[in-house]
Homo-oligomer: A and B are copies of this chain.
Amino acid sequence: MNRIKRRRDAPRTNRRGTRSRRSAYRAPTVRDVSAAADVSVGTVSHVLSNARNVSPETRARVQRAMKRLGYKPNRIAQSLIRRRTMAVGMVIPDVANPFFAELARGAEDVLAGADYALVFGNSDNDAHKERRYIDSFKERQVDGMIVAIASDAESKAILEFAKQTAMVLVDRAFKDWSGDTVLGDNSLGMGLAVNHLVELGHRRIGLVNGDPELSTAKQRRAGFERSLHRHGLEARLIREGRFTLDSGQEQTRDMLALPEPPTAICAANDLLALGALLAAAERNVKVPAELSVVGYDDIAYARLAQPRLTTISQPAYEMGAAAARLLLQRLASPGRRSEHQVVAPRLVVRDSTVGLR
């Protein structure tokens, strides 16, 4: 009893009785509030969480004390005992890619609305980096994660991880994954692009692709090939690289140097398509007159490019928001069946594609 008394009276002194020297300021705690309002800590906690009835007068007194002291609950302490951090991790390849920036925005907006904090990691499509972020987030006890997975290189670990904490895959998945997903229909989308080009009379159509280990790249390639075959065409002009502008430029440069260059190019994302435009400009190949180009994603800059880019549109913001909503749902009811949302791609015709004359 004496010991406890001492603690309540002098909470700011350490065992030696000296005030801690570093940082004079120390945020008020439940104990400070309870002392100020002359109630027990339990009561303070309860007015905070509304977990049980507290008489109006007591409540008011406590709230006044809180305000006066500028009390804010320490979320870390809450997390420790509640076993919930109210934080979710997100790992995407690169925020500097507008598609993922939008996607992140979508996720953040819904998560913030539910009082979750978003902690971020850019994997650069590197399975190692991705794994490091996931591990780090796990140690930090995030309640869940949203990830645009780089490859299936770490699939074992991911699957293991997902058993322990909520996880939804967005934009990209891997086989063996059976949890929640929000994915585009990449094969269909690429089909749309090919159909458009074929309808315009193109026969020699090339594919400028991203990192071949990514599920999006695989599926877009598959869609490309399938669709060409369906039209009785061969899929020979295929390049792969990374999902970057530079790679797009390089791949296109390469293709345009062919004895029989393509008359049209499908790029697996808009960055690649923009790179293709640059490569064409280098060689003085006119787009769309001499080369049609279609992109994928419909980032904001697609319509600002010259010529305005025909592309396969995907609602990045919505995909992020949907992934976040799915995560929230799973957090609320861990037992529910997993859900697989697929968002439909849409062809947006602008000025970078034109009929073969």
A164 within 8 A of B: yes
Knowing A95-B105, A102-B96, A108-B122, say if A76 contacts B140 (CB, 8 Å). yes
Pick the most buried of A76, A80, A274: most chain B CB atoms within 10 A of its CB.
Answer: A76
A13 is an interface residue with CB less than 8 A from chain B: no
Determine if A163 is an interface residue (Cβ-Cβ < 8 Å).
Answer: yes
| A212 sits at the interface (CB 8 A) | no
For the complex formed by this chain, how many copies does it contain in all?
2
Task: Report the bound CA distance from A137 to B136 in whole Å.
Answer: 19
Once the chains bind, are B79 and A76 in contact (CB under 8 Å)? yes
Does A98 reach chain B (CB closer than 8 Å)?
yes
Q: How many residues of A contact B (CB 8 A)?
A: 52
Given that A120-B120, A122-B108, A245-B300 are known contacts, is A140 also in contact with B75, CB under 8 Å in the complex?
A: yes
B306 to A139, Cβ gap below 8 A?
A: no
Q: Which of A230-250 contact B (CB under 8 A)?
A: 245
Chain B residues whose C-beta falls within 8 Å of the C-beta of A135 in the assembled complex:
72
Residue picked from A77, A141, A245, A277, most chain B C-beta under 10 Å: A141
Q: Which of A111-119, A167-175, A253-261 contacts B (4 or more CB under 8 A)?
A: A111-119
Query: CB of A266 within 8 A of chain B?
Result: no
Partner of A80, one of B77, B98, B112, B133: B77
* Cβ of A138 under 8 Å from chain B: yes
- Whether B120 pairs with A72 at a CB distance below 8 angstroms is no
A residues in contact (CB < 8 Å) with B: 23, 25, 27, 72-77, 79-80, 85, 87, 94-96, 98, 101-102, 104-105, 108-109, 112, 115, 117-122, 133, 135-141, 163-164, 245, 274, 277-278, 300-301, 304-307, 334
